[in-house]
Amino acid sequence: MKFDTPAGTNPIDQEKVVAQPHARIEGPLKVTGQATYAAEYREPRNAAHGYVLGSGIARGKIKHIDVSRAEAAPGVLLVLTHHKTPWTNLESPVPQQYEHSPHLVNEEVNYYGEAVAFVVAETFEQARHAAHLIEIEYDTIDADFVLADVMNEGKAPPGNPDSVVGDFDGAFRDAPVKVDVTYTTPDQSQSPMEPHASIAEWQGEQLTLYTSNQMVHWVRRGLSKTFHMAQQDIRIVSRYVGGGFGSKLNFYADAVLSALAAKELGRPVKTVLQRPLIYNHTTHRPATIQRVRLAADREGHLLAVGHDTFTGDLPGGDGENASDQTKLLYAGPNRLIRTRLSELHLPPGGSMRAPGEAVGLLALECAMDELAEQLHLDPLELRIRNDIQHDPEKGPKRPYSSRKLVKALREGAERFGWSTRHPTPGQVREGEWLIGLGVASAFRKNLVQPSGAKVRLEKGGKLTVETQMTDIGTGSYTILGQVAAEMLGLRLEDVTVKLGDSDFPKASGSGGSFGANSSTTGLYYACEELRKIISEAFGYDPNTTEFKNGEVWSGNHCTLLAKASSKGAIEAEGNVTWGELTEKFVQASFGAHFAEVGVNAYTGETRIRRLLSVASAGRILNPVTARSQCLGGMTMGVGAALMEELHVDDRYGLFINHDLAEYHVPVHADIPALDVLFLDELDDKSSPLKAKGVGELGICGVGAAVANAMYNASGVRIRDYPLTLDKVLAGWEAAH
């Protein structure tokens, strides 16, 4: 079914189950250890253990590799190098990507941590020991690891042309009030708790891969291309994912080499990436250098909006596009928005929660505060004055499907007590703590993907849902169960949801905040088809039939739903593709973040005291799981502001803080009680559910609100993230 006209009234609008605060239906399995994660499957018996050996250089060639000692080590079953793979002697290696991902291709090394050998043994310890017996000599090639060194060599990425509207240079030059500031964000790691892991098993020519991945169909498609085999001969199972945040959109050496080794050995192979390779072999968020230029008249109306993003990645990579939200968030007749991508030889860049906006707003929303200060205008009011109800580039012909940014700002300000903010930095103090308030707008584009599902009414009247959709801790099991229950007039406990298996209909997967809206829409259409089958079986008109309380009603006639499947289960399948509504209307989720921080007047230490997020994201399918998503995003936003940074060893091109001890993320002591407010909203241009993405909205702008509050408290404006205490102290020292 193509969704190409705005949604009308439908069964979801009853909100008897949908939009109600249900706890996660899979929660008891997780807290009792019964949820099976990638490395825990028992189905493949007698699994051998794989160990990926990563490169010790960033760029060059393997001059010589000796695996004889490893092969002779106790318990070793197989050692693979580029001499022993089906991809040997390809003209050039293919970068890590969604489509095709061979490993051990040839002697070339493209980044530190790239797989250079793979050892399989009876135990993990034996495989690890043997891997470190492998002797490798490299010829190194000069490499670039620092973005600032190569930023001027950057080019516009394919498919991302410059956005030019009006006369930016002239408007900026002539404007009475303006700021021209540069913000930098570091490389960051998604750093999921659950490591990337895979178990591969062959039965004849059929491959089953149990893995930790956000996108089942992407892995299946990619392995099909990698191994030159039909997709129907590959089964991917990813029932539970212990966090991904974008790093598990791709698939890596654990999946590919486990499958290759299992085929050769004729027995299952399990591989769990060791923690340092999670940072140096899988993807990360690339660093950015962002120049933001804003100019306004003396009343605070934007006249010129400029945002240049410089980023870097391996050849063929995308870097971090941090300027996209600036194209859409605020008014301004003259605009110049550009991205420049340079070649770096760090581990591969990739998506990290809310790619683009998460770091783009760190710069834009702080620059807005700097402009407000120049104007002597409340930063909240500056944002409100520059609200716009249509695409700033394409004009009124492309309006927003819904936009409640101003409402989010105003209601958030009232709830947070924004009126108590002192406009002059450093004026509020409690003991040794300087106190400040900050605000930032939240924006995340509303993405949608094709998605499908199958529903089956079992004998006895229970309902089963099957779809490839994954649950990465976001509540997919629960919201899909709610939608199915609403559509068929059942209780949530009467629905069984099965996810993360490529034997089920292809679904959107989890990523980009498109998962909930897309997958529930595919399920909606499957349920709609099942409703039609059941109605016609009872002789009812499908257009007027009502499903409620386990019964099917047509006027005054009522039949038990269970009767429809009394002679055997009946099933239906549905899917969604998307029409032109996403082009006719700007679709995005909006919100506002408010922060109160304390900065120690002697040490420069920053502590979060309060955070509030106001979210406008269409129908909230489940306020419990949605709130949890916002809390997670807010926590990641605090991390991006205050502590998250991958440190590059510029001798070898690796991320040196490659473990959970040294890659700092917020812990419980860093996070106070958080507050989330959802605005009532239905977006009928988005989907039949009238929902939009909410998970990543929670991170977009949080770090900027923290940074603005830090400035309000301390009087130090830091433009180099993360905002650590040494930078606060340096600012104070420079001021005196």
pLDDT tens readout for residues 236-292: 999 999 999 999 999 999 999 999 999 999 999 999 999 999 999 999 999 999 999
114: annotated active-site residue: no
Express each pLDDT in 642-685 by its tens digit: 999 999 999 999 999 999 999 999 999 999 989 999 999 999 99
Is 526 a residue whose pLDDT tops 60? yes
How high is the pLDDT of residue 108? 95
How high is the pLDDT of residue 97? 54
| CB count in 10 Å sphere of residue 245 | 24
How high is the pLDDT of residue 47? 96
Which CATH number is 2-35+448-579 given? 3.30.365.10
Mean pLDDT of the chain: 96
User: What is the arithmetic mean of pLDDT over 49-58?
Assistant: 98
> Which residues fall within 8 angstroms of residue 733, CB to CB, at 6 or more apart?
none
Identify the band that residue 98 occupies on the pLDDT scale cut at 50, 70 and 90. low
Q: Give start-end residues of each CATH 3.30.365.10 domain in the chain.
A: 2-35+448-579, 357-446+587-735
Identify the band that residue 44 occupies on the pLDDT scale cut at 50, 70 and 90. confident
How high is the pLDDT of residue 583? 94
Torsion from C-alpha of 449, 634, 405, 323, nearest 10 degrees:
-60
- Considering the four listed CATH numbers 3.40.720.10, 3.30.360.10, 3.30.365.10, 3.30.420.40, the one that applies to the domain covering 357-446+587-735 is 3.30.365.10
The predicted model scores a pTM of 0.97
The answer as to CATH 3.90.1170.50 being correct for domain 43-355 is yes
Determine the Cα–Cα distance for residues 129 and 703; give it in Å rounded to an integer. 42
Is 430 a residue whose pLDDT tops 60? yes
For residue 419, the one-letter residue type is S
Q: Which of 97-106, 329-338, 442-451, 707-716 is predicted least confidently?
A: 97-106
Which CA distances in Å does 619 have to 170, 329, 522, 524, 679?
A: 43, 21, 17, 15, 9
| CB count in 10 Å sphere of residue 374 | 16
Express each pLDDT in 503-513 by its tens digit: 999 999 999 99
How high is the pLDDT of residue 87? 83
Helix axes of 476-488 and 515-537: crossing angle, nearest 10 degrees = 30
Is 94 a residue whose pLDDT tops 50? no
Express each pLDDT in 673-686 by its tens digit: 899 999 999 999 99
Confirm if 389 and 561 have CB atoms less than 8 A apart: no
Is 15 a residue whose pLDDT tops 90? yes
Pairing of strands 48-54, 269-272: parallel
Is 392 a residue whose pLDDT tops 80? yes
Name the phi and psi angles at 471, rounded to 5.
-120, 110
Q: In the numeric block, which tokens belong to residue 728?
A: 């606060």
| CB count in 10 Å sphere of residue 43 | 12
Q: Give start-end residues of each CATH 3.90.1170.50 domain in the chain.
A: 43-355
Identify the band that residue 92 occupies on the pLDDT scale cut at 50, 70 and 90. very low
Is 100 a residue whose pLDDT tops 60? yes
How high is the pLDDT of residue 99? 63
Under DSSP, is residue 491 helix (H, G, I), strand (E, B) or coil?
A: coil
| Residue-by-residue DSSP string for 544-594 | T-EEETTEEEETTEEEEGGGGGTTS-EEEEEEEEE-THHHHSB-EEEEEEE
Of 365, 528, 645, 696, which residue is the catalytic one? Answer: 696
